[in-house]
Amino acid sequence: MSKLILTRHGQSVWNAENRFTGWVDVDLSEKGVKEAEKSGELLRKLNIKIDISYTSYLKRAIRTLTTILQKNKLELKFNTAWQLNERHYGSLTGLNKEETKKELGEEQFKKYRRSWDVSPPPMPENSKYQSNFSPLNSSIPVGMTPFTESLKNTYERVVPFYDKEIKKNLLTGKNILISAHGNSLRALCKFIFKISDKKINELEIPTGNPLIIEFDKDLNIQKYFYLDKARAKNII
d(CA 196, CA 176): 25
| β-strand pairing of 79-80 with 52-55 | parallel
Contact in structure between 171 and 51 (CB atoms under 8 Å): no
**Catalytic residue status for 88:** no
Residues with Cβ within 8 Å of residue 98, at least 6 apart in sequence = 18
Strand boundaries in 72-220, DSSP class E? 79-80, 176-180, 211-215
Question: Which H or E element spans position 183?
Answer: helix 182-192
Of 9, 88, 149, 181, the active-site residue reads 9
The Cα–Cα gap between 54 and 46 comes to: 20
Annotation marks residue 86 as catalytic:
yes
Question: How far apart are the two ends of the chain, measured CA to CA in Å?
Answer: 23
> Looking at 35, 37, 86, 204, which residue is catalytic?
86
Please state, as a whole number, how many other Cβ atoms lie within 10 Å of the Cβ of residue 20.
21
Positions annotated as catalytic residues are 9, 86
